Amino acid sequence: MCGRFSFSPLAKIIEDRFDVKVDAGQYTPRYNIAPSQDLAVISNVKKDELSYYKWGLIPFWAKDKSIGNKMINAKAETITEKVSFKNSFKRKRCLVLSDGFYEWKKINPKEKIPYRIKMEDGSLFAMAGIWDTWRNEEGNWINSFAIITTTPNELMENIHNRMPVIFHKKDEKAWLNETDTDFLQSLLNPFPAKYMTAYSISKLVNSPKNDTPEILKPVEYNF
């Protein structure tokens, strides 16, 4: 799964990389992003600006928003079959922006070590997302999203059995613009390991309350 990530570049860097407008008053660098929070995405209905959607997909037909707590990820292999995801896959897709994500490697039955996984050159990247809109009892609309995951590449398989779908830059606009679902599903592959790197980090990342640059620093563990 993908349950935590970061997105902390300067607004100008985001604008240059993704060709979008960033509201400096709304954007905040984040180092320890967690589910249920409102996060920066680029949706297929507002392709030229950052939008802020809640992480944890709430389908339009849901009776209660708590369902979103269980739907932070959607598996690429079954996304066209699951009732909760297939409509969004066809019509409501987004790019979830990141500069690194976190995963925990199981060392022994009692110990897990957190890792930061990023592009080897430190560049920004976009993860595959789907979204939906749900109306609460007060009549307010909530936009929410899930990150699509796939099987691990050679780097990730030593850490975890899933990883987020990360796009090659050339495929990002296609994810927002294309309508052919067979083509879209062909994009949902593991990103090549040769362009990525991973290192162990502090267990500060275990708590979403710790949202500081300190989390990004490498930490070595001895067992």
Known active-site residue 2: yes
**Phi first, then psi: what are they for 204, rounded to 5°?**
-55, -30
Do the Cβ atoms of 6 and 216 come closer than 8 Å?
yes
Catalytic member of 15, 103, 138, 154? 103
| C-alpha closest to that of 129 among 51, 215, 194, 19 | 51
Q: Which of 2, 77, 94, 111 is catalytic?
A: 2
For residue 49, the cross-strand partners are 21
Is residue 103 flagged as an active site residue? yes
H or E element: which one contains 134? Answer: strand 125-135
| Phi, psi (deg, nearest 5) at residue 85 | -120, -25
Q: In the chain, what is the straight-line distance between the N-terminal and C-terminal CA atoms, in Å?
A: 25
Three-class SS state of 87: helix
Which DSSP helix (H) or strand (E) runs through 176? Answer: helix 169-177
Q: Which residues are catalytic?
A: 2, 103
